[in-house]
A and B are shown apart, each in its own frame.
Chain A
Amino acid sequence: GNSVTQMEGPVTLSEEAFLTINCTYTATGYPSLFWYVQYPGEGLQLLLKATKADDKGSNKGFEATYRKETTSFHLEKGSVQVSDSAVYFCALKEARGGADGLTFGKGTHLIIQP
């Protein structure tokens, strides 16, 4: 079956530090890959996505590249802010259709200190 593995944290960084959150996946087909974010007290929202190999998703200074050869979709940001403190979830979905939902990693709790 499908699975997503990501570092669970908490990850604590200082403001303006470089961020990498690793995500690797196992899938039977050709999935789309997603990063969702959950800010304190808020619901899950899409941060970025990539739908095929070598695609780069980007949003709010965050980037992730779909690497089929390493089955990875690592999230990066060059300079984090306190407002980036949240839980980040890597997820995949098979491209064949909607018969199954998103498969999520366990989530990475990111804490940015001023």
Chain B
Amino acid sequence: GAGVSQSPSNKVTEKGKDVELRCDPISGHTALYWYRQSLGQGLEFLIYFQGNSAPDKSGLPSDRFSAERTGGSVSTLTIQRTQQEDSAVYLCASSFTGGGWETQYFGPGTRLLVL
């Protein structure tokens, strides 16, 4: 079956512009996660969705970051007024129910470069 897909695979933008990153999880997975992978910070957890609900948004780096999920499926991560420090690979993962023991399946990531 299809894995987690993300789009775009690469995005170059100018400082101050808004960007939208998309994640399509594995069909039937109710849990969806966003992570950021950067040279300086390693892999950081950003936000988790159970269905369409995100119980805790404190992992988002700043109020310029927001995320939503609709229909219990596709999720978008939006970064407003991008800054150079937002440059990173943004990874999405999904799992069946979100249980602590479950395997999370990762997408290929979106590589964001802010000039």
A19 and B27 CA atoms in complex are apart in Å by 37
Q: Is the CB of B42 within 8 A of A106?
A: yes
Which B residues are in CB contact (< 8 Å) with A107?
42-43
One digit per residue, 1 when the CB lies within 8 angstroms of any chain A CB and 0 when it does not, for chain B 41-65 equals 0110110101000011001000000
In-complex Cβ contact of A98 among B50, B91, B108 (8 A):
B50
Q: Is the CB of A44 within 8 A of B103?
A: no
Q: Is the CB of A98 within 8 A of B95?
A: yes
A43 and B73 CA atoms in complex are apart in Å by 21
Q: Output the nearest chain B residue to A44 by Cβ-Cβ distance.
A: B106
In-complex Cβ contact of B97 among A45, A91, A98 (8 A):
A98
A104 and B46 CA atoms in complex are apart in Å by 12
Which A residues are in CB contact (< 8 Å) with B104?
46, 101-102
One digit per residue, 1 when the CB lies within 8 angstroms of any chain B CB and 0 when it does not, for chain A 79-114 equals 000000000010101111111111111110000000
Q: Output the nearest chain B residue to A106 by Cβ-Cβ distance.
A: B42
Residue B71 CB within 8 A of the other chain: no
Q: Output the nearest chain B residue to A107 by Cβ-Cβ distance.
A: B42
Q: Is the CB of A43 within 8 A of B45?
A: no
Q: Output the nearest chain A residue to B44 by Cβ-Cβ distance.
A: A104
One digit per residue, 1 when the CB lies within 8 angstroms of any chain A CB and 0 when it does not, for chain B 22-43 equals 0000000001010100000011
Which B residues are in CB contact (< 8 Å) with A46?
103-105
Q: Is the CB of A49 within 8 A of B103?
A: yes
In-complex Cβ contact of B101 among A42, A51, A89, A104 (8 A):
A51
Which B residues are in CB contact (< 8 Å) with A43?
91, 106-109
Q: Output the nearest chain B residue to A49 by Cβ-Cβ distance.
A: B103
**Which A positions have Cβ atoms within 8 angstroms of B?**
31-32, 34, 36, 42-46, 49, 51, 89, 91, 93-107
8 closest Cβ contacts across the A-B interface?
A: A98-B98, A101-B45, A95-B100, A104-B43, A44-B106, A51-B101, A43-B108, A32-B101
